[in-house]
Amino acid sequence: MVNQKLNITNSDPTQHNIHFTPKNNDDWNQSQPNGAAPMTHEFKRAEVLVPVKCNQHPWMKAYVGVLKHPFFAISKPDGTFTISGVPAGTYTVAAWHEGPGNGTEKTMQVTVPASGAGKADFSFSAATAGNPSSLEMMPALEFPMAMKH
């Protein structure tokens, strides 16, 4: 959540650095040696997914979702997702898929009726995910979906 304190702990037997490279928030980079005390960081503005990398180990990458509300979901292996408890209204749903650069984000207008559910179908091409032969070296990937107003 926006302005929520994010705890960052290094439990590895080696040092890392935590480098957020957001679009809407401030760039932040801090070294964290092994055994160092946990650090905290806050994001002041919403951003579907903020990339995080370790410049010491460039294969290490993560994403932090920063929203103003609790409505988000991570898709299942079959690609479906459900966001529960959304009040009736019209929303912009943002879906994000990891890939080259900061990944690919798509948005869609969805109306949630007073009773029943709205539906949002997104499709991402194989090119979005990048070259499979290169990504075979990566561990299993999760493709989180997130929703924003």
Partner 1 sequence: MNKGLHRYTLLVTGATFFLLIAGALVTSHDAGLATSDWPLSNGQVFPRMVGNLFWEHGHRMVATTVGLLTIGLALYFFKSEQRTRVRRLGILALAVVIAQGLLGGLTVKLNLPLAVSAAHATLAQLFFCTVVSLSVFTSRGWFENRPMLTEKGSVPLRYLSVAATITIFLQLILGATLRHSATWDHFLPTELVLAHIGGAVAVVLMLGATIALVLKRYGGESYLTKPALLASGLLLLQICLGVAAYLTRLKSPYDPQPLNPMVEITVAHVACGALVFATTIVLTLRIFRTVKATEAAFEFAHV
Q: Is 30 in the site for partner 1 (CB under 8 A)?
A: yes
Residue 141 three-state SS: coil
Among 3, 9, 24, 56, binds partner 1 (CB under 8 A): 56
Q: Is 14 in the site for partner 1 (CB under 8 A)?
A: yes
Among 148, 33, 132, smallest CA distance to 95 is for 148
Among 75, 29, 89, smallest CA distance to 55 is for 29
- C-alpha angle 8-59-124 in degrees, rounded to nearest 5: 95
Among 50, 67, 56, smallest CA distance to 17 is for 56
Q: Is 38 in the site for partner 1 (CB under 8 A)?
A: no
Q: What x-and-dash track marks residues 119-138 binding partner 1 by CB under 8 A?
A: -----------xx--xx-xx
Among 124, 131, 57, smallest CA distance to 100 is for 131
Q: CA distances (Å), 20 to each of 11, 17, 87, 92, in order?
A: 19, 10, 32, 25
Q: How far apart are CB 127 and partner 1 at their closest, in Å? A: 10
Among 9, 55, 109, 111, binds partner 1 (CB under 8 A): 55
Only segment of 2-10, 73-81, 95-103, 106-114 that touches partner 1 (CB under 8 A): 95-103
Q: Is 140 in the site for partner 1 (CB under 8 A)?
A: no
Q: How far apart are CB 59 and partner 1 at their closest, in Å? A: 4
Interface residue list for partner 1 (CB under 8 A): 14-15, 17, 19, 27-31, 33, 54-59, 61, 100-102, 130-131, 134-135, 137-138
